[in-house]
Structure 1
Amino acid sequence: MRRRPWRRTFFVDLFLLLFVLLLVLFVLRVAFIGGDAEVRVKRSAELPLRFSSDGGFKILQVADMHYGNGLVTRCRDVLPSEAARCSDLNSTLFLKRMIEAEKPDLIAFTGDNIFGTSATDAAESLFKVFRPAMESRTPWAAILGNHDQESTMTREELMSFISLMDYSVSQANPSGFVVDGYGNYDIRVHGAWGSGLANTSVLNLYFLDSGDRAMVGGVRTYGWIRDSQLTWLHTISEELQSRYPAPALSFFHIPIPEVRDLWFRGFVGQFQEAVAFSSVKSGILQSLSSMGDVKAVFIGHDHLNDFCGKINGIWFCYGGGFGYHGYGRVGWPRRARVISAQLAKGKKAWMGVETIRTWKRLDDDKLTKINEQLLWSNDYLPSGTLYV
């Protein structure tokens, strides 16, 4: 009877087992890691968003980033001396500078985040657009413009992807509602810690999808906010106001037709191009006015307009063109808008929102601050007061 060579069999089996394990790990790395990326879950912002210990909450609006492919995507409408070295990276640098200078509590990207025809891979371009926000660990929210879907992803895919990115508080659509578009959601900002409103939303933010392009009567036009979206907006506004009468701000991309009339009514800032809107006059202005809580609306789309004007008691404010691959005007700096809400100070703790202000910063050597103004106040200050 021959003895079984158990030592050799044991070591052979052990070697084969280790080899298989190493092979599996290698396959997993190649399949799921791909370079220096990591396999991990989304890094989430701390929710709910809330006012800081100094009673402030600041929002940075980024309108019309128009990102392409990064370094190889050239700038438009810049000085000849700037053109040779100017690319999408200038947009990225501007965003990093704004985050460092203003230290916002939320960044609101209001559409045309990527310029679809220039972005060969939508997902890759989106990562480049939002990377400064993610790296700074700043909560951010995004909606779509009329160009985002022109690359390799549909609007539904874009909003789903955006909602899954690090520190994004964006949503594809509200649960329990059937609404048109993708990117209709609300964000609630609670009072400061230690106050009686720490568990209450004292500032409400409404994000809406204004669409991209549409055919109406055989004529091509821009999108608009539909009735189903307005129904949801009314419902959520009534629900929130029944809990606490907080002021609200709204964000969408394409302006409404009434914004054009501000040319004759007066405005703060620059009105340098025709307002591009849908031929369909939706009921958004009437809805916002009847709700009563929305104090200001922030839009994009027209890069050369950066003004604020008041319509039916509501301020409509352009962000101004932010991105360098979007059209601009030679010698007119790219810019960003900042919205700052401040709580009222009680005898022992912070109370509700007292003021909402806004200003813009230019992408120059000093990030020059311009057109600071009061949009809304809960006290005696007259709305529209200029501070600069």
Structure 2
Amino acid sequence: MELRFKDGRFRILILTDAHHAPNTGKDTIKAMGCLIDRTKPDLVFLDGDNIAGHATEQNCRDMIADVVSPMEKRGIPWAHVYGNHDKTPLFSKNFQQAIYQKYPHCLSKAGLNSVPGVGNFFLPILGTDDKPAFGIWALDSMQDLDIMDTPLDYKGDFQKDVLLPKRLTTGSNADFLRFEQVQWYYNESKRLEAKYGTKIPSIMCFHQPLYEFNAIVRNPRETTMVGEANEKICCSEVSSGLFAAAIQRADVLGMFCGHDHNNNFHGIYCNMHLAYCGSVGYHAYGMKTGDRESLRGGRVIDLSLSDPWTLKTEYIFTKG
């Protein structure tokens, strides 16, 4: 299945933090369908923490079936990355990936075995000449420092050594993207440029935010911040270098994340769109009761073939 601009336009809907679990009902799935019907995307991207709390294999299969059903029933292509809650001790991301990829409209890939994580891949969006006019970089932002997907050649207690009394960030226990992932993006970006004779404008989707997202909330006027920041940015204490690599390559227009459910802001820092995608889940923290329910939604990204180096994005509320 190929992604392609239609009538010169392409729309992406990012839905994140569904946290769909056994015995949580179908409200989240209905909300996903509602947003899809309202926005009419060409691609739906699930940005992690898609399922949670699956204690049995049948739970896992059922939860995945539910969370992909809004796209499968409508015949809409979709892709996904993993968050810090998708994996459980019993059901690895590789196990889940095999289930996801059996669905006919799934465009996700497991990625290279030599690159840490599961779900590091590039999705091209073709133009009229059958060449990539735009692209989406999907990256596995790992889990937490106490549940490391990829062990380090580190001597000592890494978690203890990183989480000092006076933290660099908010004190989040988030893991970090590995150097090999950044290297994969950088090298693959250069390979694509050499193959097609030009850089391919693109976005990046991953679950946990980068440290650089702090630049938006600390400088709302200068970064033309739009939207709400209702909680601290729970990024890793360890900088992956991904932002620097993307700035150096200058082919990534924006980075889109989830993880912090009560944030849905967007801003531009160093010519890079940095945006949260909120949460679509009815059972995610901060989305269960009270005023925060009004924050539930997803993020739309609109692309134009006539100007692929420019994107427009808006947060769409479920109750809107």
| Per-residue deviation, residues 321-380 of structure 1 (Å, max 9, x unmatched) | 111010125223211111110121xxxxxxx5263111122112xxx3xxxxxxxxxxxx
Shift of 1:282: 1.3
**Please, which of 198, 201, 219 is the counterpart of residue 265 of structure 1?**
219
Shift of 1:229: 0.6
Secondary structure class of the residue paired with 1:58 = strand
**Please, which of 121, 126, 144 is the counterpart of residue 213 of structure 1?**
144
Measure, in 2, the Cα distance between the counterparts of 1:118 and 1:130. 19
The answer on 1:308 being equivalent to 2:266 is: yes
Corresponding residue for 2:135?
204
Corresponding residue for 2:155?
none
Corresponding residue for 2:43?
106
Measure, in 1, the Cα distance between the counterparts of 2:55 and 2:44. 24
Corresponding residue for 1:140?
78
Measure, in 1, the Cα distance between the counterparts of 2:310 and 2:215. 26
Shift of 1:60: 0.5
Aligned pairs for 1:82-231 (under 5 A) are 88-116=25-53, 121-150=59-88, 152-174=90-112, 178-192=114-128, 198-215=129-146, 216-218=158-160, 221-231=173-183
- Contact preservation (8 Å) 2:141, 2:176: yes
Shift of 1:117: 5.8
Shift of 1:273: 0.2
Secondary structure class of the residue paired with 1:150 = coil
Secondary structure class of the residue paired with 1:204 = strand
Amino acid at match of 1:324: Y
- Residue correspondences, number: 288
Measure, in 2, the Cα distance between the counterparts of 1:271 and 1:289. 24
- Contact preservation (8 Å) 1:116, 1:149: no
| Per-residue deviation, residues 294-332 of structure 1 (Å, max 9, x unmatched) | 000110000000001222221110001111010125223
Measure, in 2, the Cα distance between the counterparts of 1:186 and 1:161. 20
Comparing 299-308 and 321-330, the one that deviates more: 321-330
Corresponding residue for 1:239?
191
Shift of 1:152: 4.1
- Contact preservation (8 Å) 2:71, 2:78: yes
Once the two structures are aligned, what percentage of the paired residues are identical?
Answer: 28
Give structure 1 stretches of 5+ with no counterpart: 1-45, 74-87, 193-197, 345-351, 369-388
Give structure 2 stretches of 5+ with no counterpart: 147-157, 164-171
| Per-residue deviation, residues 173-214 of structure 1 (Å, max 9, x unmatched) | 14xx6100001000000013xxxxx21100011000000112
Q: Which has the higher contact order (CA 8 A, sep 6+)?
A: 2
Superposed CA RMSD in Å reads: 1.8
**Please, which of 311, 314, 319 is the counterpart of residue 359 of structure 1?**
314
| Per-residue deviation, residues 246-283 of structure 1 (Å, max 9, x unmatched) | 21100000001221232221121101101111111111
Amino acid at match of 1:233: Y
- Highest Rg: 1 or 2? 1
The answer on 1:295 being equivalent to 2:227 is: no
Measure, in 1, the Cα distance between the counterparts of 2:42 and 2:318. 20
Measure, in 2, the Cα distance between the counterparts of 1:308 and 1:99. 21
- Contact preservation (8 Å) 1:64, 1:113: yes
- Contact preservation (8 Å) 2:35, 2:297: no
| Per-residue deviation, residues 20-43 of structure 1 (Å, max 9, x unmatched) | xxxxxxxxxxxxxxxxxxxxxxxx
Measure, in 1, the Cα distance between the counterparts of 2:68 and 2:278. 18
Secondary structure class of the residue paired with 1:129 = helix
Measure, in 1, the Cα distance between the counterparts of 2:33 and 2:135. 26
Amino acid at match of 2:35: M
| Per-residue deviation, residues 80-106 of structure 1 (Å, max 9, x unmatched) | xxxxxxxx4111111111222222111
